Amino acid sequence: MSAAGVETFGSVVATSLAMKEVLQLVSRLADARSPVLFEGESGTGKDLLVHSLHYGGVRRDGPLIKIHCPSIPADLLESELFGHEKGAFTDARQAKAGKIEMAAGGTLYFDQIHDLGPGLQAKLLRVVEERRFERLGGTRTLEVDVRFVSSSTLDLRGAVLAGTFRDDLYYRLAVVGIRLPPLRERTDDIPLLVEHFVAKHGASRGRAQMAIAPAVYSAFNLYPWPGNIRELENVIERALVLDSDDVIGLDDLPDRLRAREQRLGRVHMELPDDGLSLEDVERDLLQAALVKHDWNQTKAATYLNITRSALLYRMSKFGLERPQPIME
């Protein structure tokens, strides 16, 4: 749904073009059965979009079952996923349904799917392809109607190329792949998000109508937000707690935001009268940081205060590669 330049789907709202396109795509997928893979940095809102996808579609009355792959020990994950029959192993005193069965008629969500081990990847492939499986220790084949949704903070295609994730499972899970842009690529959404977080965290403190100084938005737009929306929410909640008047100002922000603005104040650029290309400036700055650190990607990313994955994305975007030495 769109209104006055704002795109809304479920509990997610956006004004930036990049995020509007994501919401429009997710809304079109709500009633489909096809598997969906969300990729993006931590804190970009993957969980919220999964909820919006499920509750905004025909499966809204069915269960939404989440499996956070890194939090379940590898030796327990198979039983959690497939369930088990009585006596399947030492502590299996009674039969137990797994997450796949529990998600019947609804959505099964694999959070951080890249953490799934090779053995389970092979077993999951069959379920995704055939919607059939057996409990541990069981011989009866069960059929299940479930939609598979996954998320990853890693580039899963890169994991396939590195040999740590099965290519056949990747193509089954990523029938529709959606990349969530980091907050630094959707700064148009910052005022909308700030308003939401002020209302959310200010209501219980009687501060839901707090004003934001213009300098704060300037600092927000300059900051790279490595923690994305989650970090922005933390910054707003902190400011509401510490602020002593009715306006959130620069003094209410963490040092890392104010220090960046001060550092950028020391960067001098000549702005030509006939304009310039922001992408060219970004490319030149990226290349300068790589050259400064002898093309060490980790050091260059730290220098630019972005993640290494964000650096690699930008290097690919601009076609930046370390020059090869000339062989005599």
Q: Give the residue from 181, 208, 224 where a domain finishes.
A: 181
Same domain, 306 and 286: yes
Give me Rg for the CA atoms of the chain: 23
Q: Are 35 and 176 in contact (CB under 8 A)?
A: yes
Contacts of 86 (CB under 8 A, 6+ apart): 92, 93, 94, 95, 137
Question: What does the pLDDT read at residue 260?
Answer: 56
Same domain, 241 and 101: no
Same domain, 237 and 289: no
325 located within any domain: no
Same domain, 151 and 293: no
Question: What does the pLDDT read at residue 100?
Answer: 94
Same domain, 168 and 202: no
13 located within any domain: yes
CATH of the domain at 158: 3.40.50.300
Question: What does the pLDDT read at residue 36?
Answer: 97
Three-state helix/strand/coil letters over 82-130: HEECCCCCCCCCCCEECHHHHCCCCEEEEECHHHCCHHHHHHHHHHHHH
Query: Containing domain of residue 204, as a range?
Result: 184-264
Question: What does the pLDDT read at residue 88?
Answer: 64
CATH of the domain at 189: 1.10.8.60
75 located within any domain: yes
Start-to-end Cα distance in the chain:
62
Query: Would you tell me how many other CB atoms lie within 10 Å of the CB of residue 268?
Result: 5
323 located within any domain: no
Does an H or E element contain 6, and which? Answer: strand 6-9
Residues 1 and 8: their CA atoms lie apart, in Å, by: 5
Question: What does the pLDDT read at residue 173?
Answer: 96
Contacts of 37 (CB under 8 A, 6+ apart): 113, 149, 150, 151, 152, 156, 173, 174, 176, 177, 178
248 located within any domain: yes
Residues 97 and 101: their CA atoms lie apart, in Å, by: 6
328 located within any domain: no
327 located within any domain: no
Say which DSSP state 70 is in: G
Same domain, 231 and 312: no
Question: What does the pLDDT read at residue 327?
Answer: 41
Q: Give the residue from 138, 165, 181 where a domain finishes.
A: 181
Q: Give the residue from 144, 163, 181 where a domain finishes.
A: 181
Q: Are 110 and 125 in contact (CB under 8 A)?
A: no
Per the structure, how many domains does the chain have? 3
The full length of the chain comes to: 328
Taking only the tens of pLDDT, the chain with its 328 residues reads 444 578 888 888 899 999 999 999 999 999 999 999 999 999 999 999 999 999 999 999 999 999 999 998 887 888 889 987 776 676 767 888 889 999 999 999 999 999 999 989 999 999 999 999 888 888 889 999 999 999 999 999 999 999 999 999 999 999 999 999 999 989 999 999 999 999 988 887 777 778 899 889 988 988 889 999 999 999 999 999 888 788 999 889 998 887 655 555 445 555 666 777 777 788 888 888 888 888 888 888 888 888 888 888 888 888 888 765 434 3
Same domain, 170 and 192: no
